[in-house]
Structure 1
Amino acid sequence: MSKFWAYLKTNSFRNNFLAAIGSVVLILLIAYFSLGYYTRHGEGAPVPKLKGLSIERASDMLSQQGFKYQVDSVYVLDQAPGTVIEQDPDAGTNVKSGRTIYLTVVTRLAPNIALPDISQSTYREAIATLTNFGLKIGDTTYRSDIARDRILEIRFGGQVIKPGTKLPKGSKIDLVLGDGAGASEVNIPDLVNLDLDAAKFSIKGAGLTIGTITYQGAISDSTNLVVVSQFPAKTDSLSKTSIGTRINLTVSQGKKTDEQQPQQ
C-alpha cells in the first residue's frame, strides 16, 4: 500500500493522469464540433408565420422557401374554410431547407350531425344542448301551450324537423316555444271515428298537442287509420281542458264505422 501512495506522488503518474484528462476533453470537443458540422447546427431558415393565411397562400410561401408541407383538416365553427389555424414547427423556428411543415386547415365541408331530441326541453336547456352539438339558434316564435318556453317545434329552412334529422354542423334552426297560457281552456274535440289526419288537424286547431299514438291490431295501410279512442275524452263531466294539453290517440285499420255527426 505504501508503494501505491508513493507512486501517486511521482511525476510519471501526474503526467499520465493529465494526459488522460486531456485526451477525454479532446475527444469531447471533437465530437461536439463534428456533430455541429454534421447537422449544420445553426444553419437553415426561419419558418414563416402561416396561421391565419389561406392554404393556397401558405403553400405558395412554403414552396418558394424550399419547404415541404403536409395538411390535416378539421372543422371549426365560425372559422373561414381553407384557413390555416395551426402550424408545426412554430413561426420563427430555424429549420433546414426541405423540412416538412405540418399545417392544420379548416375544412370547407361541415360534417353532418344528428339533431338531438329537445322536444320536451326548455329554451335554456335547448340552447345548451344545441350549442354542444355545434348548432345555432335562429328565430324563435311563440304558440299557446301550458308550459312557458317549452320547445313545441323545431324548424330548419321553414320545415318542421324531427330528432335524428341530419344537419350540417353550424346550421341555424328555428324554435317554436310555448307561451305559458295555461289558464285558458278549450273544448275537448270528439275524435273517435275520425281518420288520423283529420284528428291531428282537429287537435292542432283546438290549441292542443298531439300526444302518443297507439296502434291497435294489424296495420296494412298506414294511410287508412281511424281513431277508436282518445285520452282525455269528452264526457258529461269533462268537456274542457287547458290549452296545450296532450291528446293521446288509439287508432286501428279500417274506414269510419259510423257517420260523423256535425259538430255543434
Structure 2
Amino acid sequence: MTSKLRVVKFNSEIFTMFGIETVNEYMDRFWAYLKTNSFRNTFFAALGSVFLLVFIAYLSLDYYTRHGSGAPVPALKGMSVDKAISTLSDQGFGYQIDSVYVPDQPPGTIVEQDPDAGTMVKQNRVIYLTMVTRLAPNVTLPDLSDQNYMEAAATLANYGLKIGDTSTRTDIANHILEVRFAGQVIKPGTKLPKGSRLDLVIGNGIGASEVEIPDFTNQDLDAVKFAIKNGGLRVGTITYQGTITDSSNVVVVSQSPAKTDSTSKTSFGTPINLTVSQAKKTDAPGN
C-alpha cells in the first residue's frame, strides 16, 4: 500500500512539474490536441510527404532500369563464333564464351545461348555462349581383347569412340584381336582424341582349321611371341634355363609342339610352350 502511494505521489510530482494537476487532465488535453486543425494539418502533411517520397522513388527506379525498354536477343545457335561475336557487338551486347566438345559438330559452332533468342534485355547485357571446342579431349582406350563385336561397340560408345572398318581373321575365338588407329595397332591405355574412329580385327571363331608349325629355335623371344600371335597360335608356358641377366638377349632353345617329319601342322589357337635361355640370336643351341 505504501509503494502505491509513493508511485502516485511521484506521478503527481511529474504532472505538477509540467503544469498538469492530474492524469485525467493530461488525457483531456491530449484528445483535445488531436481534434485541432494544427494536428490534422501536421498529420496530413507528414502522410503526403511519405507518399510523395515513395512515388518519386518509384519513378526514379523505373527510369533507372528503363522498364519496358530493351532489345531482343538475336538467334545465335548454329552460327560460327566469329559471326556470333560480330552480331552481338553490332547490337550493343556483351558476351562471354564457354566451350564443350560435341561429336559431329563443326568446331567453333554456337550450340547454346543464354538468354534464349527473342528475350527482351537491356543494352550492354552479357549474352552467354557455348561453342564447340576445336580440340577434342583425350580418352583412354579400354581393353577389348575379351569382348565380341557387340560388346566392344557398346564399350567404345561409352568412351566416346567410334568404330571404323572391321575385318576378320581366322581364330579359335570370335573376340577382338586387334584395334587399329590411323593404320597402326594400338594397345589398351592409349590416349586418343574423343570421337576417333577405330578399326577392329575380329576372330572368326573357326578353331578346326590347321596351320603350319613354325620352327622357333634359336630365335629372339620377343620376335617369337609376335610371330605366334600373328600366326593364329597362342604363347603357352615359357621356361627359363639358367640365369637371365639381359632380357634383350633371350632366345628360344626348344618348343612344344615342334615341327617334325610326322607332325607339321596344328589347330588354330594351339598354345606353343617355349624353353628359353640367355644367349645371342646368332649363337647355336648348346654352345
Q: TM-score by structure 2 length?
A: 0.71
The residue aligned with 1:85 is: 111
How many percent of aligned residue pairs carry the same amino acid? Answer: 66
Match of 1:153 among 171, 178, 190: 178
The residue aligned with 1:183 is: 208
Paired residue total: 250
Q: How does 1:1-264 map to 2 (within 5 A)?
A: 30-148=56-174, 150-186=175-211, 188-189=213-214, 191-200=216-225, 202-204=227-229, 206-210=231-235, 217-219=244-246, 222=248, 224-227=249-252, 233-234=256-257, 241-247=266-272, 249=274, 251-255=276-280, 258-259=284-285
Extract unaligned runs of 5+ from structure 1.
Answer: none
CA shift for structure 1 position 70: 1.4
Would you say the 8 A contact 1:140–1:177 is kept in 2? Answer: yes
The residue aligned with 2:3 is: none
Q: For the residues of structure 2 that align with 1:202 and 1:122, how far apart are their CA atoms?
A: 23
Larger RCO (CA within 8 A; separation ≥ 6): 1
Report Cα offsets for 1:146-180 as digits up to 9, x if no partner: 112x0001111211111122222211111000001
Would you say the 8 A contact 1:144–1:244 is kept in 2? Answer: no
Report Cα offsets for 1:80-109 as digits up to 9, x if no partner: 111001111111112211111111111112
Report Cα offsets for 1:32-64 as digits up to 9, x if no partner: 443222211121111101011111110111010
CA shift for structure 1 position 217: 2.7
**Which residue type is aligned with residue 175 of structure 1?**
L
Q: For the residues of structure 2 that align with 1:105 and 1:213, how far apart are their CA atoms?
A: 55
Would you say the 8 A contact 1:190–1:234 is kept in 2? Answer: no
Larger helix proportion of the pair: 2
Q: For the residues of structure 1 that align with 2:285 and 2:239, how far apart are their CA atoms?
A: 23
**Which residue type is aligned with residue 125 of structure 1?**
E
Q: For the residues of structure 1 that align with 2:204 and 2:218, how far apart are their CA atoms?
A: 32
Q: 1:248 to 1:163 in 2, by over 3 A?
A: farther
**Which residue type is aligned with residue 245 of structure 2?**
A
**Which residue type is aligned with residue 63 of structure 1?**
S
**Which residue type is aligned with residue 252 of structure 2?**
V
Q: CA RMSD in A?
A: 3.7
Q: For the residues of structure 2 that align with 1:214 and 1:51, how far apart are their CA atoms?
A: 65
Would you say the 8 A contact 2:95–2:126 is kept in 1? Answer: yes
CA shift for structure 1 position 241: 4.9
Q: For the residues of structure 2 that align with 1:214 and 1:18, how far apart are their CA atoms?
A: 110
